[in-house]
Amino acid sequence: MKRKKYIFGICVFLLIGLLAGCGKSGSDDTGDAAITSKWKIVEFTVNGETSRPTEEPFYVRLFIAGMDPAFSCKDGENCVFHLGKKDHKGTVVQEDDKYVIYYDDTKKPMIGRIEGKQLIISDENDKFQFVFETK
């Protein structure tokens, strides 16, 4: 239990430092969500350890709710990752079937893709992965 809490804490801080990104600019024939949807985090994986906020103890869920981790990309090019009282702004560039997200406050880009109603964002080495979902 302590290990899971420790890993969860590390993941939250990594979210702050590494951030998350965008997806597609509109719906397509596969029923994928639009990039302009409102995205809420449902899962994150760091070094092979996956955490789902809804499965955490009550006080951890309360902490996450207070941080309100979310992603938005209203115009399909400019995105914001919101975490706590800080908004991390960035830009999205589409490259074939993926999206490269460049944040103003970090040097490493993130890679995003939309699968159905999920936005999956990872670093270039797939060491970190963040899964967002829309309604």
Whose CA is closest to 102, among 69, 78, 134? Answer: 78
Is the confidence at residue 12, as pLDDT, over 70? no
Mean pLDDT of the chain: 77
Show the domains of the chain with their CATH numbers: 2-133 (2.40.128)
Residue 17, classed as helix, strand or coil, is helix
The single-letter DSSP state of residue 55 is G
pTM, 2 dp: 0.68
Is the confidence at residue 11, as pLDDT, over 70? no
Q: Hey, what are 73's tokens?
A: 């990309």
